[in-house]
């Protein structure tokens, strides 16, 4: 792993397969500190589309095209295509050459400038015997572009020609998960001889990885593909069958990292030149953390404003929040709850100094990340948030608020519900007993929190809030020695006061005195007319505050 952080690999499967076939390689790349995104092309893997709904090769490749388009310009990608996936990679290279550091073709179709992309499939079909596909079957499906022939790979073909060097478990996995697929031979995109250009596709570094034990796309056939594309680098993996990512995952991972490292110097030079041309050194990277019961969705306005201004934004769902798949009873600790933030900060390159932004209870997760990774954080912004201090446990702010809320009825129609081993609200007699207490925010309470926000945002919140756990009895939340002056205390902190248009229950002066007593040196910013959901009631003003903070404390 290079000192500037890990690479970002995007992995594209072959015909009839899915993202699942990369599971061994993804695990190894991530363990080595790199980012790995394995994608399902349309109607493949667990992608929800049905095959007859995928009318074109463009539609089929859309998940890849969208992923590359969405990647920040500085996040130069290593695209990896297996088998038919090489053609989707080629299309992405042509569309987004500036975002691709290198393209890797793993025993794959590799087209070339001056020929249509389908020529590689035509050459393959001419080279194989008539009975090559063995027990595979074909079906004609009606699509928007007319009838297309779908191919379903047979189990005998899989066993003898694709997975013949793989563990038996992976062959079984393949039999269970493959889906019928189109080769799109008559698709206009596949037939266009002017599609791939020297300026775009031809400008991206290409590496072909030969699977030397491949009995379907033989070594001889693979080398012929390379010979037709001068300037392509070559790597070899001995003992690898066609499914090299399953038969030789460690070797595939090592090859990919080696390829990415070869591009390091050129990539860093390009990024430094680009940064030098930008005023102020280029955009900042903001990591946005939601409050209790909310999710990354709560930042949609601020994220849009920051991205429009040229900055990078990562809005996270903490565990069992927003669209995060975990259920509340499965999240056993504050550490587990905060894991998406901790992992994101850990994965950030050392030079990519972050501005962490936490709203409400999200301030507690911010504090944990600051203590763990102080050198990766340029500044931390607490938006009307829990702001702990050195010498006290992280939960001190939340504890004080809950005591005040209970005595003054501030929680209104919120419900406190037991969390058990099987869910929430079913009582401690359920399996596992009570594991904590969840808060379920009521509509009246939300209305109060969003009292200055547009009605649409109140409705959105009511539809998307999930029960939340404050983890008040968690050991991490109770540890008064956890936050240290050397780590948490060393990071510049900014507190944003939400001052409602119709008066604030706590004056800015009172907040400032409290912060001076507990967190000396913390800067205080005020946003007039903001309710507790500052990101919804005053998104532009909050964006301006965040950009100002990033400039001052870069």
CA gap 153, 160 in Å, rounded: 12
Which of 497, 492, 491, 484 minimizes the C-alpha distance to 545?
497
Q: What is the mean pLDDT of residues 393-409?
A: 77
Query: Which of 47-56, 82-91, 392-401 has the highest average model confidence (pLDDT)?
Result: 82-91
Residue with tokens 């189109």: 182
Q: How far is CA 169 from CA 16, 164, 176, 476, in A?
A: 18, 12, 11, 40
Model pTM score = 0.52
Q: What is the pLDDT of residues 427-447, one digit of tens each?
A: 444 445 677 899 999 999 999
- Exactly one of 13, 17, 116, 242 is catalytic; which is it? 242
Average pLDDT in the 109-118 region? 93
pLDDT score of 504 more than 50: no
pLDDT band at 318 (very low <50, low <70, confident <90, very high): very high
Q: Which of 44, 56, 83, 321 is catalytic?
A: 83
Say if residue 157 is exposed, middle or buried (CB neighbours under 10 Å; 0-12, 13-18, 19+). middle
In which band, very low, low, confident or very high, does the pLDDT at 2 lie, cut at 50, 70 and 90?
Answer: very low
Q: Active-site residue 214, yes or no?
A: yes
For 136, 215, 369, the CA distances from 472, given in Å and listed in that order, are: 58, 59, 18
What pLDDT digit, counting tens, does each position of 343-365 carry? 999 999 877 889 999 999 999 99
Pair 325, 340: CB distance under 8 Å: no
Per the DSSP assignment, residues forming a β-bridge with 312 are 285
Quickly count: other Cβ atoms within 10 Å of residue 239's Cβ.
12
DSSP label at 355?
A: E
Rounded Cα distance, 397 and 420, in Å: 26
Q: Which of 40, 214, 474, 531 is catalytic?
A: 214
433: left (phi over 0), alpha (psi -120 to 50) or beta: left
Going from the N-terminus, what domains does the chain have, and what CATH number goes with each? 8-261 (3.40.50.1820), 283-552 (3.40.50.1820)
């Amino acid at each position: 792993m290079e000192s500037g952080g890990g690479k970002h690999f995007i992995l594209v499967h072959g015909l009839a397969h899915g993202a699942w076939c990369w599971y061994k390689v993804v695990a190894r790349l991530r363990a080595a500190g790199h980012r790995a995104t394995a994608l399902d092309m349309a109607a493949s893997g667990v992608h929800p589309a049905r095959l007859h709904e995928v009318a074109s090769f463009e539609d089929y490749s859309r998940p890849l095209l969208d992923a590359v388009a969405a990647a920040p310009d500085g996040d130069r990608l290593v695209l990896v295509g297996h088998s038919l996936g090489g053609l989707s990679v080629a299309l992405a290279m042509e569309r987004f050459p500036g975002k691709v550091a290198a393209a890797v073709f793993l025993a794959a179709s590799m087209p070339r400038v001056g020929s249509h992309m389908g020529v590689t499939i035509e050459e393959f079909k001419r080279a194989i015997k008539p009975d090559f596909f063995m027990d595979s079957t074909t079906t004609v499906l009606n699509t928007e572009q007319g009838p297309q022939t779908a191919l379903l790979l047979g189990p005998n073909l899989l066993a003898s020609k694709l997975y013949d060097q793989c563990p038996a478990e992976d062959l079984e996995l393949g039999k269970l998960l493959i889906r019928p697929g189109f080769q799109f031979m008559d698709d206009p995109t596949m037939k266009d001889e002017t599609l791939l250009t020297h300026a775009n596709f031809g400008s991206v570094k290409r590496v072909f990885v030969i699977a030397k034990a491949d009995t379907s796309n033989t070594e001889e056939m693979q080398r012929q593909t390379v010979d037709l594309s001068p300037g392509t680098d070559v790597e070899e993996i001995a003992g690898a069958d066609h499914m090299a990512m399953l038969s030789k995952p460690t070797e595939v991972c090592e090859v990919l990292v080696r390829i990415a490292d070869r591009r390091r110097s050129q990539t860093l030079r390009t990024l430094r030149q680009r940064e030098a041309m930008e005023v102020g050194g280029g955009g900042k990277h903001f990591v946005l953390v939601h409050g209790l019961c909310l999710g990354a969705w709560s930042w949609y306005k601020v994220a849009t404003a920051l991205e429009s201004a040229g900055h990078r934004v990562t809005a996270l769902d903490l565990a069992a929040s927003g669209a995060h798949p975990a259920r509340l009873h499965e999240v056993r600790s504050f550490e587990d709850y905060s894991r998406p933030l901790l992992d994101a900060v850990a994965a950030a390159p050392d030079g990519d100094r972050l501005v962490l932004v936490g709203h409400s209870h999200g301030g507690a997760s911010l504090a944990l990340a600051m203590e763990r990774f102080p050198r990766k954080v340029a500044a931390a912004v607490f938006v009307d948030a829990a702001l702990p201090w050195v010498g006290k446990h992280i939960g001190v702010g939340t504890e004080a608020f809950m005591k005040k809320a209970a005595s003054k009825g501030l929680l209104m129609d919120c419900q406190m519900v037991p969390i058990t081993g099987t869910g929430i609200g079913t009582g401690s007699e359920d399996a596992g007993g009570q594991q904590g207490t969840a808060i379920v925010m009521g509509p009246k309470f939300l209305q109060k929190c969003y009292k200055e926000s547009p009605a649409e945002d109140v409705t959105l919140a009511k539809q998307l809030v999930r029960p939340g756990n404050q983890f008040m009895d968690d050991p991490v939340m109770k540890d008064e020695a956890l936050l240290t002056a050397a780590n948490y205390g060393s990071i510049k902190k900014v507190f944003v006061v939400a001052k409602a248009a119709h008066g604030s229950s706590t004056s800015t002066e009172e907040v400032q005195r409290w912060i001076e007593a507990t967190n000396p040196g913390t800067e205080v910013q005020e946003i007039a007319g903001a309710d507790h959901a500052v990101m919804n009631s005053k998104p532009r003003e909050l964006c301006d505050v965040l950009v100002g903070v990033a400039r001052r404390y870069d």
